[in-house]
Amino acid sequence: MGQAEADQAAGAPAGPLSAELLHRMHGYWRAANYLSVGQIYLRANPLLERRLTRADIKPRLLGHWGTTPGLNLLYVHLNRLIVEQDVDMIAVIGPGHGGPGLVAQTYLEGSYTERYPAIERSRGGMERLFRQFSWPGGIPSHVAPETPGSIHEGGELGYALAHAYGAAFDNPDLVVACVIGDGEAETGALAASWHSNKFLNPASDGAVLPILHLNGFKIANPTVLARIPEDELASLMRGYGYEPFFVSGDDPMIVHQHLAATLDTVMHRIRAIQHHARSGTEPSVRPIWPMIVLRTPKGWTGPKIVDGKPVEGTWRAHQVPIADFEDSEHLVQLETWLRSYRPEELFDGNGKFLAEFASLAPTGHRRMGSNPHANGGELMLPLTLPDFRAHAVAVATPGCVKAAATATLGGYLRDVMALNLATANFRLFGPDETASNRLQAVYDVTGKTWMAETRPDDTDLSTDGRVMEVLSEHLCQGWLEGYLLTGRHGLFSCYEAFVHIVDSMVNQHAKWLKTTRSIPWRRPIASLNYLLTSHVWRQDHNGSSHQDPGFLDHVANKTADVARIYLPPDANCLLSVADHCLRSRGYINVIVAGKQPERQWLGIDAAVRHCTIGAGIWEWASDDGDPEVVLACAGDVPTLETLAAAMLLRDYVPDIRIRVVNVVDLMVLQPQKAHPHGLDDRAFDAMFTTDRPVIFAFHGFPSLIHRLAYARAGHHNFHVRGYKGEGTTTTPFDMVVMNDLDRYRLALDAIERVPRLKDRVPAETARYWAMMERHKLYVAEEGDDLPEVRDWQWAR
């Protein structure tokens, strides 16, 4: 301890830390800060054993210093809590730009070297640690999948607190510390996430400790929450249902004591809340959980002034505070900065962290970088799955019976829920739409999680329910991600159009999954499963704003390692697909299925066979021999229209030879080299032909089919119909008419493309327009679909 510092420590206000512990913790913090600055700047001379030269400095300086010292401070203090109270804790680091800090911390505690043996705890290892950071072929600049102990990539801001809650659900012994940057706090997703405490049960779930870190600045601006009066901020936190504790300062010794005391207090509150809730005599009520507001300078302990401009405590500390080493003054300044941490007091001559400080870290799985919850695949138990065949709809002949696909699935999900109640590792997520999406059978075995007030008329609410309903797609997604990343399972059912709200979150999760494929120590986690329903074609109550199938395009852009899209045409196919998805690992599975009663096509055995291949000729709907035209379809409504078109065509042209092909797994359309599900060319060509017109009726935007199938030999014959952006509040049949996806249009499309029928085109076109005229008159007059459309029955 330097004299000045000793004086400071001695003069610091009384607190829980003895002078000796304070000295050691401060040293630990200095070590982490030193290693953080080293990562940003140095390629050599890691222990500053000689004067710094330009050759020691990386050619490209990339990274973020500003948030890092605050994260390092918190990590050191959370470590103390873990050790003193034997806490099972992970940290979710919202300001993921502070990558160097988390890498430094996991290196100091030993977790890093266990995951990456080449990064030894020695001079050489330290040099490699520094050099790899933001170095080509090295590690990314952010907290990332590569970072031990992380379940959260900190690049895109907004999701830290939702991830933290997702991790805490059903993990009663876990405490999730969640650091929220004041920049992140301005985002929509984060602003909504505070209310997650209305959905966390102190008896059966773990605790989340939000730590709002006000360092005052974003990239180039002050932050809103740092620039409102403290009583307003306190009021905001109380309004969110938390008891805020403030820790502020720029004197390390004072902040150390204050933060330590505050952490003791909040941990005591958390334990008291849990003890009370778990003592079991009283009904669960929502507690007021503690949270911390930590206000410290941005870029704390970094250079105060560079080139005459203030840096520490300003937005200028955001990335690399000193750059441009053409200026030799800067070199001196950097060396001074690095030496200010006095590395020689912290590391021995071989670069080993001195035991005096190193012994502060927790050990084994208590180290946050080694906590198995943050590598959820290590803990994941497979779901116990019921026999989905028991839920099958009996289909004596195709089209003979109607069923609502998602309601059928609801029965299956009820059994999934029931079979996994004991392990408490399956939840259903939805933005207030579970019943609207016809999955309400799950309420037979569990309720909807609700810790806010209840009233006598409420139905299916429960403090320990396993259905998560909140009107925020961001929260559903973020909670589920956190739940999966800590080794559990789930399904997110959402209105198809509004799942676009989480497009960007899907990107980030897909990137995470892709990256973890090449990180050996990351164990596979359960897939992120979407059930998209209340889809574009059946938005009876709503109309245009609720009609958009473009999420499929979004997911199709994700890497083939990760993206899976299924469009089961009926209830039995939906059962087969859903069962498959719940067993799969590491994918983003998108299932689209309608919720209205519709005709059913395949018995359960046929459905399983069909879904296993992913696409197939429906022989029972096709004519023998070489087809003149292929009617292809993907999606429940397009399948209905296609089969109706086949009937019309046989009526118009009795000797026509039609083949009906149904596609369940959209990725079969891609070449095998582009996607593992891609059909090989021979099978594809045999199915779709290479020389016959293919009238493809698709659930989504037609261009997606072209984009997936463009390299196929017969692609030039593909004529795709789908959603083209037309729609309003109207009848089901009018919706398909507006988008040229209706049976009459499909039939005319076919006639136009079969060469021998060329002469009939004028007459059939006239018939088509007469039909459309009748349709328009009827719906305008009656406000409902034509009876023959409403009551249409398949016949062969």
> Would you tell me how many other CB atoms lie within 10 Å of the CB of residue 727?
22
Spell 527-561 as b/e; 16+ CB within 10 A means b: bbbbbbbbbbbbbeeeeeebbbbbbbebbbebebe
Residue number, 388 or 684, with CB nearest to a copy of itself = 684
Q: Does 76 participate in binding a copy of itself (rule CB under 8 A)?
A: no
CA–CA separation, 122 and 644 (whole Å): 73
Q: Tell whether residue 125 is a contact of a copy of itself (CB under 8 A).
A: no
Placement of tokens 């020389």 in the chain = 691
CB of 704 to a copy of itself, least distance (A): 8
Give residues 301-330 in contact with a copy of itself (rule: CB under 8 A): 310, 314, 319
Q: Which 731-760 residues touch a copy of itself, going by CB under 8 A?
A: 731, 734
Of 657 and 706, which CB lies nearer to a copy of itself in the complex structure? 706
Does 690 participate in binding a copy of itself (rule CB under 8 A)? no
- Considering only residues 82 to 121 of the shown chain, the ones binding a copy of itself according to CB under 8 A are 96
Q: Is 184 a binder of a copy of itself (CB under 8 A)?
A: yes
Say if CB 300 and CB 312 are below 8 A apart.
yes
Residues 6+ apart with CB under 8 A from 491: 413, 428, 429, 529, 530, 531, 578, 582
Residue closer to a copy of itself by CB (options 444, 503) is 503
Least Å distance, CB 157 to a copy of itself, is 7
Touching a copy of itself, residues 327-386 (CB under 8 A): none
Residue 383: partners with Cβ closer than 8 Å, 6 or more residues away:
416, 419, 420, 425, 426, 489, 526, 582, 583
Specify whether the CB–CB gap between 108 and 31 falls below 8 A: yes
* Tokens found for residue 638: 């397009």
Residues 240 and 197: beta-carbon distance below 8 Å: yes
Distance set, CA 8 to CA 11, 19, 251, 253, 344 (Å) = 5, 10, 9, 6, 21
Q: Which is nearer to a copy of itself, 61 or 401 (CB)?
A: 61
Give the CA distances from residue 128 to residues 45, 120, 363, 765, in Å, rounded to whole numbers and listed in that order: 11, 8, 24, 72
Of the pair 353, 492, the CB lying nearest a copy of itself is at: 492
Copy the structure tokens of residue 94: 């919202």
- Under rule CB under 8 A, residue 524 binds a copy of itself: no
The Cα 422–Cα 391 span in angstroms is: 22
Among positions 538-597, residues that touch a copy of itself (CB under 8 A) are 540-546, 548, 550, 553-554, 556-559
CA dist 325 and 193 (Å) reads: 43
Binding segment for a copy of itself (CB under 8 A), chosen from 646-654, 661-669, 722-730, 741-749, is: 722-730
Residues 397-436 that bind a copy of itself (CB under 8 A): 432-436
Residue 474 makes contact with a copy of itself by CB under 8 A:
yes
Q: How many residues bind a copy of itself (CB under 8 A)?
A: 127
Nearer Cβ to a copy of itself (222/524): 222
Residue 58 binds a copy of itself (CB under 8 A)? yes
Residue closer to a copy of itself by CB (options 455, 682) is 455
Given the complex with a copy of itself, which of 157 and 631 has the nearer CB atom? 157
**Residue 665 contacts a copy of itself per CB under 8 A:** no
Smallest CA-to-CA distance from 491 within 583, 622, 624, 553 is with 583
Nearer to a copy of itself, 62 or 795 (CB): 62
Where does this chain touch a copy of itself (CB under 8 A) — which range of 109-117, 535-543, 570-578, 622-630? 535-543
174 burial via Cβ count (<10 Å: 0-12, 13-18, 19+): buried
What one-character DSSP code corresponds to residue 527?
-
Q: Which stretch binds a copy of itself (CB under 8 A): 81-89, 353-361, 409-417, 730-738?
A: 730-738
The verdict on 74 binding a copy of itself (CB under 8 A) reads no
Give the residues across from 448 on adjacent strands. 461, 467
Nearer of residues 367 and 558 to a copy of itself, judged by Cβ: 558
Is the Cβ–Cβ distance between 541 and 729 less than 8 Å?
yes
Binding residues for a copy of itself restricted to 207-246, rule: CB under 8 A: 218-224, 227-229, 232-241
Q: Which of these, 754, 751, 750, 734, lies nearest to 742 by C-alpha position?
A: 734
Q: How far is the CB of 546 from a copy of itself (least distance, A)?
A: 6
Nearer to a copy of itself, 189 or 611 (CB): 189
Partner residues linked to 468 by β-bridges = 429
Window of 147-155, 595-603, 627-635, 643-651 that interacts with a copy of itself by CB under 8 A = 147-155
Residues 491-520 close enough to bind a copy of itself by CB under 8 A: 497-498, 500-501, 503-504, 507-508, 511, 514-515
